[in-house]
Amino acid sequence: GDSVTQMEGPVTLSEEAFLTINCTYTATGYPSLFWYVQYPGEGLQLLLKATKADDKGSNKGFEATYRKETTSFHLEKGSVQVSDSAVYFCALSADSGNTPLVFGKGTRLSVIA
């Protein structure tokens, strides 16, 4: 079945450091890919998405490019802030659209001043 694999956390970075959170997927066809973020005490919220190969999703300084050749959708940010401390989830929506989102296990990011 479809699956998403994220790098294990937690990840701890200093403010203004470069962030990469790896995400790879297994799916048939052409899934849509998403990154969700969960801030402390809140539910998940959509951060960015990409719906076809080579698409780049971006939001709030975060970017991720849909790479079909490597089945990856790595999340990057050039300069993290303390306010980016949260749990980040990679997810995919199957080609058929008839099944719910498949989530990765989440990666906790802590940014220290």
Q: Which is nearer to another protein, 41 or 113 (CB)?
A: 41
Q: Which is nearer to another protein, 15 or 53 (CB)?
A: 53
- Contact status, residue 82 vs residue 109, Cβ threshold 8 Å: no
Residues making contact with another protein (CB under 8 A): 32, 34, 36, 41-46, 49, 51, 89, 93-97, 100-101, 103-106
Q: Which is nearer to another protein, 29 or 113 (CB)?
A: 29
Cα separations in angstroms, 53 against 35, 68, 73:
15, 6, 10
The gap from C-alpha 80 to its chain's centroid, in whole angstroms, comes to 15
Min. distance of Cβ 105 from another protein in angstroms? 5
Min. distance of Cβ 91 from another protein in angstroms? 8
Q: Which is nearer to another protein, 67 or 103 (CB)?
A: 103
Cα separations in angstroms, 105 against 10, 24, 53, 61, 80:
12, 12, 23, 23, 21
Min. distance of Cβ 17 from another protein in angstroms? 25
What are the backbone angles phi and psi of residue 83, rounded to the nearest 5°? -70, -10
Rounded distance between C-alpha atoms, residue 24 and residue 20, angstroms: 13
Min. distance of Cβ 25 from another protein in angstroms? 15
